[in-house]
Amino acid sequence: MVNYIPSPRLVPHHYRLGEYEWPEESLEQTPLERIKAEQLPDNWNCYPYPRTTQDIGSAWLKQNKATGLMLSSATSPFASEYIVVVNPAHEDTQAIKLVNTTEKIYSGRIFSRS
């Protein structure tokens, strides 16, 4: 969230952080697809978002083969940080369950000098 909302004072009061459960049996039936950073265009992590990455995401959604797509995080310089894009049109998405929410989106350490 720090990449998108630079101060905890700017977080809308209704925002919540959700924790989801993705059952193993669902992942066994329909594994996540994965695209490694080296498979993406050179400008994949630039802002504003390049059209090439939007086209990759659109093509993945249209194929509708997987429930989720695992990608390197554009906001983290470390290859070990991943995000999962969920395909809302895939039938196995129903297996993903919201199990917890919290109002505390930011750690107090992030903005200790704000």
Backbone phi and psi for residue 93, each to the nearest 5 degrees, phi listed first: -60, -25
Torsion of CA 112, 46, 82, 102, to 10 degrees: 40
Higher-scoring residue by pLDDT: 114, 3 = 3
Query: In the Cβ-directed half-sphere of 63, how many Cα atoms lie within 13 Å?
Result: 12
Among residues 4, 9, 15, 3, which one has the least CA distance to residue 114? 9
Q: Look at residue 87 and tell me whether its pLDDT is greater than 60.
A: yes
Q: CA 6, 44, 111 angle in degrees (round to 5)?
A: 15
Q: What is the pTM of this model?
A: 0.78
**What pLDDT score does 68 carry?**
95
Q: Look at residue 1 and tell me whether its pLDDT is greater than 90.
A: no
**What pLDDT score does 112 carry?**
65
**What pLDDT score does 88 carry?**
94
Q: Look at residue 80 and tell me whether its pLDDT is greater than 90.
A: no
